[in-house]
Amino acid sequence: MKDYVSEQLLQLIEELKNQEVLPADLTPRFTVERTKDKSHGDFATNLALTLAKPAKANPRQIAEKIVALLPQDGAIERVEIAGPGFINFFLDESWLARQVSAALADPQLGVPITKRPKTVVIDYSSPNLAKEMHVGHLRSTIIGDAVARTLEFLGHKVIRQNHVGDWGTQFGMLLALMEQLRQTGREISMELADLENFYRQAKQQFDDSPDFATRSRQLVVELQSGDKHCLALWQEFLNISLSHCQKIYDRLGVGLTPEAIYGESAYNADLPLVVSDLEKTGLLTEDQGAKCVFLDEFKGQDDTPLPMIVQKKDGGYLYSTTDLAALRYRQNQLKADRILYFVDVRQSHHFRHLFAVARKAEFLAATTEVEHMGFGTVMGDDGKPFKTRSGSVAKLADLVDEAEKRARLLVAEKNPDMAASELDEIGRIVGIASIKYADLGKNRSSDYLFSFDNMISFEGDTGPYMLYAYTRVASIFRKAEIDEKNLSGDIILGEEIERELANRQIQFAEILNRVAERGTPHLLCGYLYELASTFSSFYKNCPVLSAETEESRNSRLQLCLLTARILKQGLALLGIGTLERM
RNA sequence: GCGCCAGUAGCUCAGUUGGAUAGAGCAUGUGACUUCUAAUCACAGGGCCGAGGGUUCGAAUCCUUCCUGGCGCGCCA
């Protein structure tokens, strides 16, 4: 609708140019926005205000000219000029009602499939397989997942890439410990059940025992040269670690599968080629024995050029090299039109550098968009990165356990007679929803404070509130005992709150497009919360099943149905499941 | 030292890229359950948008100088 109004205004500007009210070379910047205040209509534009200066006229006079030129339109009931020269648009009620009917008839709920589908590669989650997944992986995993789902819903082809850390020197000490345990006849898979502890043991031995450290380094070299024994140990380790990750993904309802795994080691063979190709394009410089790329835009202290080192003086490669290889693979093999990285915002400098080098080296097509979708740190009550009470990094699995436990407790409090199995199920869904909603609801790029108390408080803007809102709609249909497929009749927007609800409902598409464009699921959370809260208010004020007339009852049932569908779909795009009762 | 990000109600956070009277939730206070789930709803109080200066019809938003906090900055990832 916003786009539609903008379109008309653009035509109108041309008309004004023909009339020589405006200079011909002018391309005005203006906005069409939803209003905050109902008295300002449903939409408003500042066009007349921005035109005042170039037209050398009073903004209100220009506004009048604009209004006079606006075509008669079924969607707009009336137009008003207000304040210093804003033009306010009031939506036609029957038009709004028809939009609701159309959305109900549409499996996409009124959200158009994109006319220009893109292949979008999304790099997210990407844990280090040497350790267990911890709280630091939460945001990348669930924000990336939500954006992936949203892009798919809009009709794009999404390729998920889980760029796991499965290579590097730390694997030497892990393999050394595996080897040692095997010699003493211990069952390795058992020992690896607690990855975190395994890593700690290996690290400790590495620090304490020179023999162990030597063996570790030796194993790294053997692994890199493709030694069979080493590769087998390494593969065994990876399998176990990956299955830990998959377990977390499944619990969290994250749409990552083994198919998405394409780790650092996948690029090993490519690394020398990256370096030689950089050399061919003349970008490579040797500096103090290391192979570097220097770009003029990247300066360090005292204006000294800042290199991107792609090969160390000992011949080893670095993460920059791997990232370049990955970027090229995504461009050439995966045919990406757009590449998104959901990685800690602290790496933003690295990514700027990486993208610039990749462009210069033509590893990326000029038309390919690449964006670092950085996210902030999860903080504890003390304002420092979130840790457990004992001061160690919080394992994701423990976090999920805790959330489920707390959620179950509160659900049990509300439903003293509920069967244990149902409590488990509901507690699980509510717990996960709480964690995910609390995280996804915050602006991606800033740090946020993690608090179980806030997110499982069950009051206000929380995951549980969203699920509760959904169950209330669901219960209406249970009670009514009607098949939603048989609902028909016109939508009647008699009450102000009904109008408001309809207005929200038809906004879904606009929100999803913005989420997809900016990689910001918190906009969807905010929208769904407003929808749920508008619905709660409607639910209070407008009896549905006992509505005064049959027409009103039918209309309200349809408003309920669309609310339910948008809530369910919207939450699904966030990776949050719904419940029919709770 | 250089660079990036942040500073909005007691707390946690929004603020549609410069728009109309800066908004939510929690917490506090008041009212509403014989009526579709009160995990709810309605209402109230609460603000020098870190500070100063500038740009203009109009600034939380843009520019500038400071203050405070966080994070980066050549062979880790």
Q: Averaged in consecutive runs of 10 residues, what is the pLDDT profile of chain A (582 residues)?
A: 83 85 82 88 92 87 90 88 92 94 96 97 96 95 98 98 94 94 86 90 92 93 92 94 96 97 96 96 93 88 85 94 97 97 95 95 95 95 87 92 94 91 95 96 94 89 96 93 85 93 95 96 97 96 93 95 97 97 90
Cβ contact A558:A100 at 8 Å: yes
Give the pLDDT of residue A354: 96
Cβ contact A576:A508 at 8 Å: no
ipTM for the whole complex: 0.96
In 3D space, the residue among A309, A329, A306 whose CA is nearest the CA of residue A318 turns out to be A309
Measured to protein CB atoms, the chain B nucleotides within 7 Å are 1-6, 12-17, 19-21, 23-27, 35-42, 57-58, 70-77
The nucleotide lying nearest A344 (C-alpha to C1') is: B71
Measured in angstroms, what separates residue A500's CA from nucleotide B43's C1'?
20
Measured in angstroms, what separates residue A518's CA from nucleotide B47's C1'?
30
Give the pLDDT of residue A26: 79
Residue A32 forms beta bridges with which residues? A45
3 state SS for A366-410: CCCEEEECCECCEECCCCCECECCCCCECEHHHHHHHHHHHHHHH
The nucleotide lying nearest A306 (C-alpha to C1') is: B74
In 3D space, the residue among A77, A66, A70, A2 whose CA is nearest the CA of residue A34 turns out to be A2
Amino acid identity, position A466 = M
Measured in angstroms, what separates residue A473's CA from nucleotide B18's C1'?
40
Measured in angstroms, what separates residue A450's CA from nucleotide B15's C1'?
22
Give the pLDDT of residue A348: 94
Task: Provide the 3-class DSSP secondary structure of residue A115.
Answer: coil
Give the pLDDT of residue A305: 86
A441's tokens: 């609801």
The nucleotide lying nearest A542 (C-alpha to C1') is: B36
The nucleotide lying nearest A537 (C-alpha to C1') is: B41
Give the pLDDT of residue A17: 84
What's the rounded Cα separation, in Å, for the pair A200 and A218?
Answer: 20
The secondary structure of residue A134, as a DSSP letter, is B
The secondary structure of residue A504, as a DSSP letter, is H
